[in-house]
């Protein structure tokens, strides 16, 4: 994968492609055509996803309308109640949510949503963006099914500047109006099989969807291009193991593409290892490897990097990406990324463009990942144990909201 082709792919995919949208399918078809130009044949595999179209979303604070976007899949309804900013999540602060429309900091994760429900909140407000940026962008967010589990209250997202203004003004009352049409739609995985000498295979993953404001160059067309580079390499080089390349749809909506692939026992029974690429090639930042598996694999990667003269920081942890559903099925998983400082490259917003990417660095990152993958693909026996250590099982339970982090 040379610099010119890398640049061309970034240019051709510089558009928003949210999970389940026509633009996401357009990108899937583009990936298939790109593989065809390399002499490779891939399939587009659909899977069901919840979809929603907002007809109306209104947020009034003390009678003044605040620009907002309604939460997708949060149902429809109107609620008027006192306004409350939940600064802390201690029991005393949470107890004051009862009967109120509650504004929280950060994302609406599983446990904070359960806390809101348990303490009687009747609606919610989140905010994003940056008080120091000139834009007034508002992300289109979703109340995910694993979060609400059928118990839904209306919510909206606003810009951080407006959130600050609400608190400065001492806002006391709020009204939410949310009206939407909810349906079932389709997202898509793009899958390429390169058979080997055995039925066992290594799964390579990278998501190609983006969030609602983002062109998703860094997160994660960069990883998708990395997979194209790996596929191109292995199409012309031997590999004892079978190789399966999966460009995952709807990762930004909760790892839905990789979850769909891993749902069937038959699909993953012969999978030895997952190698996941999520955000590589940034101009700034350190290269990292995150191993969800035995600690020995961390040391192997560190030794290989030293041999290759490639800087890396490796840890044993759960990475928030498409590697996680594989690890949850007991398959050792390695995620590679170049972690840029937040003031040099940000994600999930309109600043995630090709401007933060170095095509030269993309080539170097892909070359190292290829060196690791080639050793795994040609190993007499895959050295990574297909068994999840207890400490990783604990972290997976916390990440997948089966257990609450006591910290």
Helix (H) or strand (E) holding 58: strand 43-61
Closest Cα to residue 29, out of 220, 249, 193, 195?
Answer: 249
Supply angle C-alpha 223, 229, 231, rounded to 5.
105
Residue 315 backbone class (left: φ over 0; alpha: ψ -120 to 50; beta: rest)? beta
3-state helix, strand, coil in the chain (%, to 5): 35, 25, 40
Closest Cα to residue 197, out of 378, 371, 382?
Answer: 378
Q: What is the pLDDT of residue 406?
A: 81
3-class secondary structure per residue, 145-159: HHHHCCCCCCEEEEE
Summarised one tens digit per residue, pLDDT across range 58-85 is 999 999 999 999 999 999 999 999 999 9
Q: What is the pLDDT of residue 265?
A: 80
pLDDT at 407 over 90: no
* Dist. CA 119–CA 126, nearest whole Å: 17
User: If DSSP codes are grouped into helix, strand and coil, which group holds residue 189?
Assistant: strand
Please return the burial class of 341, using the count of CB atoms within 10 Å of its CB with bins 0-12, 13-18 and 19+: exposed
Q: What is the mean pLDDT of the chain?
A: 97
Distance between first and last Cα of the chain: 44
The DSSP bridge partners found for residue 70 are 156
Task: Find the mean pLDDT for residues 363-381.
Answer: 97
Q: Which domains does the chain have, with CATH numbers?
A: 3-50+186-399 (3.40.630.10), 63-171 (3.50.30.30)
* Dist. CA 210–CA 323, nearest whole Å: 17
Task: Find the mean pLDDT for residues 295-316.
Answer: 98
Q: Which residues contact 46 (CB under 8 A, 6 or more apart)?
A: 186, 187, 188
Which CA distances in Å does 352 have to 134, 211, 258, 363, 399? 16, 10, 23, 19, 25
Helix (H) or strand (E) holding 29: helix 22-37
pTM of the full structure: 0.96
Helix (H) or strand (E) holding 259: helix 256-262
Closest Cα to residue 258, out of 266, 246, 269?
Answer: 246
Summarised one tens digit per residue, pLDDT across range 159-175 is 999 999 999 999 999 99
Q: What is the pLDDT of residue 9?
A: 98
Summarised one tens digit per residue, pLDDT across range 100-141 is 999 999 999 999 999 999 999 999 999 999 999 999 999 999
Contact between 187 and 235 (Cβ < 8 Å): no
* Dist. CA 206–CA 271, nearest whole Å: 16
Residue percentage of the chain with pLDDT more than 70: 100
Helix (H) or strand (E) holding 362: helix 359-377
Summarised one tens digit per residue, pLDDT across range 247-273 is 999 999 999 999 999 998 888 999 999
């Amino acid at each position: 994968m040379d610099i010119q082709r890398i640049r061309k792919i970034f240019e051709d995919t510089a558009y928003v492609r949210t999970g389940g949208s026509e633009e996401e399918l357009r990108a899937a078809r583009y990936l298939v055509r790109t593989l065809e130009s390399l002499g490779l044949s891939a399939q587009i595999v659909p899977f069901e996803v919840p979809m929603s179209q907002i007809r109306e979303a209104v947020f009034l604070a003390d009678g003044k309308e605040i620009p907002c976007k309604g939460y997708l899949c949060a149902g429809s309804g109107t609620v008027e109640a006192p306004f409350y900013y939940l600064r802390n999540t201690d029991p005393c602060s949470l107890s004051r949510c009862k009967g109120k429309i509650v504004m929280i900091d950060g994302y609406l994760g599983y446990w904070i949503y359960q806390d809101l429900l348990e303490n009687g909140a009747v609606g919610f407000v989140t905010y994003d963006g940056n008080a120091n940026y000139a834009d007034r962008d508002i992300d289109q967010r979703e109340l995910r099914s694993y979060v609400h589990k059928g118990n839904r209250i209306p919510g909206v997202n606003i810009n951080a500047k407006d959130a600050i203004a609400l608190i400065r003004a001492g806002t006391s009352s709020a009204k939410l109006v949310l009206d939407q049409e909810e349906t079932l739609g389709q997202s898509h995985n793009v899958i390429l099989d390169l058979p080997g000498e055995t039925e066992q295979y290594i799964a390579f993953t990278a998501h190609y969807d983006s969030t609602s404001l983002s062109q998703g160059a860094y997160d994660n067309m960069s990883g998708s291009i990395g997979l194209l580079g790996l596929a191109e390499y292995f199409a012309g080089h031997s590999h004892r193991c079978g190789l399966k390349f999966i460009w995952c749809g709807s990762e930004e909506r909760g790892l839905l593409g990789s979850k769909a692939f891993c749902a069937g026992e038959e699909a993953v029974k012969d999978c030895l290892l997952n190698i996941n690429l999520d955000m590589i090639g940034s101009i700034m930042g350190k290269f990292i490897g995150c191993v969800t598996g035995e600690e020995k694999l961390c040391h192997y990667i560190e030794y290989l990097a030293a041999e290759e003269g490639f800087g890396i920081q490796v840890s044993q942890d759960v990475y928030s990406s498409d590697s996680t559903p594989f690890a949850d099925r007991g398959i050792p998983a390695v995620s590679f990324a170049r972690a840029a400082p937040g003031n040099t490259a940000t994600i999930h917003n309109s600043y995630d463009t090709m401007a933060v990417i170095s095509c030269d660095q993309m080539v170097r990152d892909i070359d190292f990942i290829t060196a690791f993958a080639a050793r795994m693909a040609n190993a007499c026996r895959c050295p990574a144990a297909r068994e999840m250590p207890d400490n990783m099982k604990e972290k997976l339970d916390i990440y997948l909201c089966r257990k609450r982090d006591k910290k």
